[in-house]
Amino acid sequence: MQTRTIEIELNGKTCSRAVPVTQTLASLLREGFGLSTSISCGEGNCGTCSVLVDGQPVRSCLMLAVQASGRTVTSLEGLADQLPRLQKAFAENHAIQCGYCAPGFMIASAALLCSNSTPSEAEIREAIKGHLCRCSGYSGFVSAILDAAAHE
Amino acid sequence: MFTYSAPTSIEEVLDVLSEWGSRARILAGGQTLLPLIHSGRLSPEHLVDINGVRSLDFVELQDDLTVGACCRQHSLDVFLRTRQRHSLLAQALPLIADNEIRNRGTICGSLAAAPLGAELPAIALTYNATLHVQSKRGDREIGATSLYKEDGTVTLEPDEILTSVVFPDSGESGAAIEEIRYTQLSFPACGAAVLVDAQGGVCASLRLSVFGRGIPAQRIDQAESLVEGEKLSDHLLDELAARIRKVVRVDSVPGVPADYARQVAGSLGARAFKRAVAQCEALTSRVQ
């Protein structure tokens, strides 16, 4: 199997690793680095595997690990000071039920709040529309993000 | 299982495509390609990643808008937002999937892969955009109306790459896109895109395309000739919808029965036309 050595800045640390060229970034993060990035559909339909690449949210299942070479990758663990505020807002607004989709939702929320610190409900719904929650707790996410924005 | 290469020049890309032919696929944004591979619907033997070819990542706006093969949908969306130009394209971009897909997905990738229901092929048809195509055998230019076959697939050869697309300055003053989708992220079941030039409610010219999961992207020439020189009225809208329903080519796909696609294509075409004419009026009254 063809491999390539990539160097990425993952959650603030420079990492170098040989990866199979067929491996997705999602698989590298979860299986290679043991991070919280959830993998579900593998086809870009559910949003559980979203991470930030160079600060922009993307589906990590729709990006090969080799394509992340030379880039900055941020998973939930790398959200640093944003994370506690999001976790508190998600918990208080009952936005997490089984929790499987939470990493993707939190990445989408963090990306939204970075570009727009006072989003409207419509803007929030637009930002999370690519994320599926099988427990169907969508209004919980919306109020959690509004709450997180208010406590910025 | 595929092998992978990441050339840094267009010449090297053409070499790889010439060597691998139909066994290779081009990886730009990957938002159409990787789902096909991961779901087992496509098994290329080689992926040639063009993201290292710097000369393909550009947007250029003179009168016409030229977009390179690596330009992301999100970048073009941001670019057009601040310039008030190419209004139909600007309206269509935010409708594509969601921002995470648009951050990676490219304009040219969507045009070349042309998944059923994608907005951009229909937008390119409406503008009759020009596509620049290269291969080791030579370069060629092709109009969007010649690129797409009746079934919505493209006439590109396996050794060819779409390097850029030119959206001409349409000159039309009204533009609108309408679509119906069943879930937030799914491809629209049906849609219609129009460019209109109208004054005092009289339509001077119309370009209209329809698309959807059950509708291969296509221009509806016979609808265009129907309304030209006519004044907007409820009767004209009914006639326009009826004409679209009569001539549109539809495929029956799961969840989008052919009769439904035909019916809705007519309604959306008329709705988009009405909205675009209203836009022309608003523009005229602002100028006066």
Q: What is the DSSP string of A36-50?
A: S----SSSSSS-TTE
The hierarchical CATH code for the domain B3-167 is: 3.30.465.10
Q: Which residues does chain A have with pLDDT short of 50?
A: none
The reported pLDDT for the residue numbered A152 is 72
Distance in angstroms (rounded) separating the CA atoms of residues A85 and A73: 21
The correct answer on CATH 3.30.390.50 for the domain covering B175-287 is: yes
The reported pLDDT for the residue numbered A136 is 84
Structure token pair of residue B202: 């009289």
Report domain extents, chain B: 3-167, 175-287
Q: Interface of chain A against chain B, CB under 8 Å? A: 1-2, 4, 21-22, 24, 42-45, 47, 50, 53, 56-59, 61-64, 66-67, 108, 126-127, 129-130
**Which of B4, B27, B51, B100 is best to mutate for the A interface (most A CBs within 10 A)?**
B100
Report domain extents, chain A: 3-77, 79-150
Say if residue B284's pLDDT is above 80: no
Order of strands across the sheet that contains B202-212:
B174-180, B190-199, B202-212, B215-219
User: Rounded to the nearest 10 degrees, what angle do helices A138-150 and A102-115 cross at?
Assistant: 40
For residue B73, what are the contacts with CB-CB under 8 A and spacing of at least 6? B29, B93, B96, B101, B102, B105, B106, B107, B110
- Estimate the share of chain A in helix, then strand, then coil, as percent rounded to the nearest 5: 40, 20, 40
Average pLDDT over chain B, rounded to an integer:
95
Report the predicted TM-score, pTM, of the whole model to 2 decimal places: 0.96
Q: How far is B227 from chain A (nearest CA, A)?
A: 36
**A151: exposed, middle or buried (Cβ count in 10 Å: 0-12, 13-18, 19+):** exposed
For B48-85, write each residue's pLDDT tens digit. Answer: 999 999 999 999 999 999 999 999 999 999 999 998 88
Task: Tell me, yes or no, if B43 comes closer than 8 A to chain A by beta carbon.
Answer: no
Task: Tell me, yes or no, if B38 comes closer than 8 A to chain A by beta carbon.
Answer: yes
- What is the tally of helices (H) and strands (E) in chain A? 5, 5
| Spatial contact of A144 and A125, defined as CB atoms under 8 Å apart | no
For B34, the 3-state DSSP assignment is: helix
CATH architecture of A3-77: Roll (3.10)
The reported pLDDT for the residue numbered A115 is 94
**Which of B73, B98, B106, B181 is best to mutate for the A interface (most A CBs within 10 A)?**
B98
Say if residue B287's pLDDT is above 70: no
For B114-141, write each residue's pLDDT tens digit. Answer: 999 999 999 999 999 999 999 999 999 9
Phi, psi (5° rounding) for residue B177? -130, 135
Task: Tell me, yes or no, if B2 comes closer than 8 A to chain A by beta carbon.
Answer: yes
φ/ψ region of B30 (left if φ > 0, alpha if ψ in -120 to 50, else beta) reads left
Distance in angstroms (rounded) separating the CA atoms of residues B288 and B284: 6
Q: How far is B257 from chain A (nearest CA, A)?
A: 23
For A22-43, write each residue's pLDDT tens digit. Answer: 999 999 999 999 999 999 999 9
**Which of A62, A64, A116, A125 is best to mutate for the B interface (most B CBs within 10 A)?**
A62
Structure token pair of residue A97: 């039920």
Q: Which amino acid is at B41?
A: R
The reported pLDDT for the residue numbered B288 is 54
* Residues of chain B found within 8 Å of residue A1, distances taken between Cβ atoms: 1
| Spatial contact of A89 and A147, defined as CB atoms under 8 Å apart | yes
Q: Which of A4, A47, A67 sits opposite B100 (nearest CB)?
A: A47
The hierarchical CATH code for the domain A79-150 is: 1.10.150.120
Cα B101 to Cα A50, A75, B73, B218: the distances in Å are 10, 17, 9, 24
The reported pLDDT for the residue numbered B286 is 66
* Residues of chain B found within 8 Å of residue A43, distances taken between Cβ atoms: 34-35, 38-39
Q: Which amino acid is at A101?
A: C
**ipTM of model over 0.90:** yes
Instruction: Tell me whether residues A67 and B98 touch, CB distance under 8 A.
Output: no
Q: How far is A79 from chain B (nearest CA, A)?
A: 17
